[in-house]
Structure 1
Amino acid sequence: MDRQLKPNPPKRKTSMLSYWTLRYFLILCIGFTLIAAGALYWIRSTSIEKSMKTAELLGLEIAEKVTGPGNRLLIPPDIDMLVDKRIKLFNTDNYFCIMVLDNNHHLMYSRPKMTQDDVRYHLSDDLNAPRNKNYAGVTVNITDSNETLGKVWVMQSKKSLTFSTETFVIVVLLLAALILCGWFTIYWLSRKLSKPIRQVAHAAEQIRIGNYEVNLDIDTKEQEMNELVSSFRDMSIRLKQLEEWRALSLAGVTHELKTPVTSIKGLVMAVRDDIVSPQEGKEFLDIALKESQRMERMVADLLDYNAMSAGSVAVRHERIDLHLLVREIIYQWRITCEDKMPEIELEASTGTQYAIGDALRVQQIIVNLLNNGLQAMSDEQTPAFRIRLQAEGEHLSIDVRDYGTGIAPEDQPKIFERFYRGELKKRRTRGLGLGLTYSRLLAEAQDGELFLASSSPEGSIFTLRLPLWTPPDQHKREQTYRSPVNA
């Protein structure tokens, strides 16, 4: 029977302050330790070299003092006093050893006192080097009239030659001070850097749980950190607005879809229960049919918008005769609105005007603009529109002007947002507020744009701008526009 493997527990996370300060502290310790080791080695080498030169000078002075008449070695009685003065002058310690030997290697003088056997203990068998590797020494020949009378050995402990205890303590204290200063600097910088990041992380956690009331009162001297905090603050404000708008939009969509359903249900139940007369029942069914058609249009708008947002709506890029297309759109639309008898004036230059786009999608945009303009007119007005085609550089523009009541200034920046409907439009017509949003998406999909050019109580002007078609090479000639009705 296979045992079930337990999942590995998640690794414990550490704070940014602890993570970086600990690692920087270890790096500082390693780095300064290597520097201190190199410094101590340099001090040791320099100290040995200096001490050996000092010992050689002492040996030369002793060699001059022990030279007597007749080419003989003569140990003066004040040699101990001389050695004491020199030891005090050279600031040496007790690990200092001096031996005066004649040519037969007999001990003539030593400091400290020692016997002939001790000479063999301190020197090698050939008497040319210290026996103990922990000692360093120099030898000076005693000469008189170019005749060698003997040798002066000056030896000292290598340990005492390297550095004193005071030197070691000073180096350790300096090393500790540098490490602490470096660590404190890094700790202070890391703390200063991590503080705004912690606040931003806390604010992000608050947004994650749905609290958009975050307070990021941070002002740092670092440009990048200020940009991060400012961007996050703007993002939180925008998310709050989007969340409020989402809730409001969902409520509005739910209300707009629920209203015709409730109306249809009530009308059908009245007919079914014979509450109304047969003539009134027929009228009720007509009303229910109109309500179902309105709801069908709202659902179709919602589906079209979702499909366009998901990128599943195909948009063609072909050459279209814009003048001919707009005339056909006007003709077809006036037939569907025959009961209101709208008047439409088309202003365009003579000749063909070719643009690059999708004829069917252009028709959807213009029809939506005309329907919106029709809804914006009061009941006392005669529906009238003016459509103008003009070339603007590398684009062709279609200006659709209505003579309705206009759009309120506070509503103009929001009319292209999804599910947005002005107060006046909410009272007059029912819808989801997706028409202009979907139309702008269609325009952008054709490499064009749709925007509100102007609006006032005398009417509004919307502009659809499409890329201008330029004649290609013969082998790249594109298909001329064909009517979407006949296509």
Structure 2
Amino acid sequence: MKGKFTDEQDEEKRISLLRYWTIRYLVTLVIGLTIIGFVTGIIIRQSTLNKNLAIDRYLAEEVAARMLDQIVGTDIPTDGDAELFYNRQKLLELSGSPSIYVVDTNGSILMENRSKDHLNISSFSQKLISSNKEVRKLKNIDGKDYYLVKRPIALNDSVLGWIVVIQSEEELTAVDQEYKLLFLMVISAALLGWAAIYILSRRLLKPIENVAKAAKQVEAGNYDIELNEKVKEQEVYDLVHSFKEMAYKLEQLESIRAELLAGVTHELKTPVTSISGLLQAVNDEVVTGEEAKEFLAISLQETNRLQKMVSDLLDFNSFAANAIPVNKKPIYIGESLKEMVYQWSLIQDNVPIEVTIDKPDEDIEIYTDVLRLQQILLNLLNNARQAIQGKGKITITICLADAHWVAIDFQDNGPGIPAAEQDLIFERFYRGEEKKYKVRGLGLGLPFSKMLARAMGGDLKLKESSQDGTIFTITLPFDD
């Protein structure tokens, strides 16, 4: 109950992939565009300020030049043409209404064109007028910041006075139209980006949803699924294709499992039934004397075969759980394989199979478990003998795969493994169509051998198989 409640809680916290990505992308996009818009606004504001200050400097210079035309001697007139200021402002298309002052060298205002909203200045300080800075910022005057621009009225290298232009920072940085345009661009980019990620997410989401639905079908035991593999995205195609292949393999394995369960049950039931019948005949004295001894001998053989199958099952399960130790030691591979083949040939009752070993002139020393290697070799030899079913040839070739690996190719001239079965021969309990009706067993030989090879740091693979024969390759490392 507790686990179920936790699952329900977890399910409530989950959201769809479309919602997850679109919301997060939109939030990220808005934050990013807000930062970009803020920085861009600062740049626009500073650029506008610099441009308008440059215009104010030009205005001051123009007014100073025109004032020289009205000077008589060295005195600046105090009743000059006021239209001079207005015409200059109109000509330059100034932003706002800057205040223009004509100031003498002592800072007294001789003429002015000041709007009623601007600063009420009666005179300028000597320090401010004599400063070398042409542009100065006047901070927090009546709650506002202003910029002061001055240009000298000079005649024959003599400064007769100054033209002073004062304008508020608010007017100099007024860029409402640009801000509106920037705002529209940011909103448009956000909507376009959100729409793009929404459309792309929906396109990506559809095949993933189909795979999720197919996974539920597989979970329910239905392996006959339909998935559209016509997708352009490579990763999505790989996902869909791999899932279809997995479902197909699971369907095959489920069929094999049911078949093999029946096969294993039959294999174990047959000797038990034989033993029971034979012992019952002896016990009921249906047979006596030599015939009873023969029945007991057959019962003993069936018991040994039953023990062998049970032992194979136990060994396989134990090794699958990593419970069987692997003891490595240095051996000469050619000499060891020769001895293993000789021992196998002694118990084959004159089977007409020729086994040859091709090895380098100088034997190769490797570090491995000789007992486990012998188990692999005996499994391959027995499988080859069963496949050949008569006179044949087995060739074992030893060679160097590279500087770190030795390869042992095990080749027979049997009829080969059908192409449809080659991908399944290392599945536990699998037995081919031909073999399961002719040879008794559990189908654990090759899976067990592969596990042994991997436990020793190597591998066992089917190299090739055709009507001319089959080649298995054992790869083993030189060192531990």
> Normalising by structure 2, what TM-score?
0.69
Question: What is the rounded CA distance, in whole Å, between the counterparts of 2:435 and 2:79 in structure 1?
Answer: 127
Partner residue in 2 for 1:416? 426
Partner residue in 2 for 1:477? none
Question: Alpha carbons of 1:330 and 1:35: their partners in 2 closer, same or farther (altered >3 Å)?
Answer: same
Question: Alpha carbons of 1:64 and 1:311: their partners in 2 closer, same or farther (altered >3 Å)?
Answer: same
Partner residue in 2 for 1:86? 88
Partner residue in 2 for 1:122? 121
Amino acid at match of 1:345: E
Q: Structure 2: state its 5+ residue gaps.
A: 1-5, 130-137
Question: What is the rounded CA distance, in whole Å, between the counterparts of 1:190 and 1:252 in structure 2?
Answer: 50
Over aligned residue pairs, what C-alpha RMSD do you find? 5.0
Partner residue in 2 for 1:21? 26
Deviation sequence 1:380-433 (CA, Å, 0-9, x none): xxx44544455545758575647x665445434543333321112222233222
Partner residue in 1 for 2:186? 179
Cα offset, 1:179, TM superposition:
1.9
Question: What is the rounded CA distance, in whole Å, between the counterparts of 2:115 and 2:478 in structure 1?
Answer: 115
Amino acid at match of 1:18: I
Aligned to 2:354, which of 328, 345, 348?
A: 345
Structure of greater Rg: 1
Deviation sequence 1:70-112 (CA, Å, 0-9, x none): 9684636xx2444443343233477444566789998776546
Aligned to 1:168, which of 176, 201, 208?
A: 176
Question: What is the rounded CA distance, in whole Å, between the counterparts of 2:438 and 2:42 in structure 1?
Answer: 88
Mapped contact 1:368–1:435 kept (Cα < 8 A): yes
Task: Work out the percentage of aligned pairs sharing the same amino acid.
Answer: 21
Mapped contact 1:63–1:141 kept (Cα < 8 A): no
Q: Which one is further off, 43-52 or 190-199?
A: 190-199
Instruction: Verify: 1:229 aligned to 2:236, yes or no.
Output: yes
Question: Alpha carbons of 1:240 and 1:300: their partners in 2 closer, same or farther (altered >3 Å)?
Answer: farther
1:362-401 alignment runs, 5 A limit: 362-376=373-387, 383-392=390-399, 397=408, 399=410, 401=412
Partner residue in 1 for 2:452? 442
Partner residue in 2 for 1:476? none
Cα offset, 1:359, TM superposition:
3.6
Partner residue in 2 for 1:297? 308
Mapped contact 1:135–1:157 kept (Cα < 8 A): yes
Amino acid at match of 1:123: S
Cα offset, 1:251, TM superposition:
1.4
Amino acid at match of 2:238: S
Question: What is the rounded CA distance, in whole Å, between the counterparts of 2:118 and 2:273 in structure 1?
Answer: 129
Cα offset, 1:243, TM superposition:
1.4
Partner residue in 1 for 2:331? 319
Mapped contact 1:369–1:400 kept (Cα < 8 A): no
Question: What is the rounded CA distance, in whole Å, between the counterparts of 2:478 and 2:287 in structure 1?
Answer: 57
Mapped contact 2:449–2:460 kept (Cα < 8 A): no
Mapped contact 1:420–1:433 kept (Cα < 8 A): yes
Partner residue in 1 for 2:132? none
Amino acid at match of 2:437: R
Mapped contact 2:52–2:95 kept (Cα < 8 A): no
Question: What is the rounded CA distance, in whole Å, between the counterparts of 2:243 and 2:159 in structure 1?
Answer: 97
Cα offset, 1:68, TM superposition:
5.3
Cα offset, 1:50, TM superposition:
2.0
Mapped contact 2:260–2:430 kept (Cα < 8 A): no
Question: What is the rounded CA distance, in whole Å, between the counterparts of 1:268 and 1:186 in structure 2?
Answer: 78
Cα offset, 1:229, TM superposition:
2.5
Cα offset, 1:371, TM superposition:
3.3
Partner residue in 2 for 1:425? 435
Deviation sequence 1:260-282 (CA, Å, 0-9, x none): 55556766887899999532697
Cα offset, 1:240, TM superposition:
1.4
Instruction: Verify: 1:61 aligned to 2:66, yes or no.
Output: yes
Question: What is the rounded CA distance, in whole Å, between the counterparts of 1:124 and 1:271 in structure 2?
Answer: 135
Cα offset, 1:122, TM superposition:
2.1
Amino acid at match of 2:341: V
Deviation sequence 1:225-270 (CA, Å, 0-9, x none): 51x2243234213321331233123213321232255556766887
Query: Which secondary structure does the structure 1 equivalent of 2:90 belong to?
Result: helix
Q: Which one is further off, 236-245 or 263-272?
A: 263-272
Q: Structure 1: state its 5+ residue gaps.
A: 1-5, 471-487
Aligned to 1:329, which of 319, 322, 344?
A: 344
Mapped contact 1:97–1:155 kept (Cα < 8 A): yes
Question: What is the rounded CA distance, in whole Å, between the counterparts of 1:91 and 1:352 in structure 2?
Answer: 100
Mapped contact 2:57–2:149 kept (Cα < 8 A): yes
Cα offset, 1:294, TM superposition:
4.1
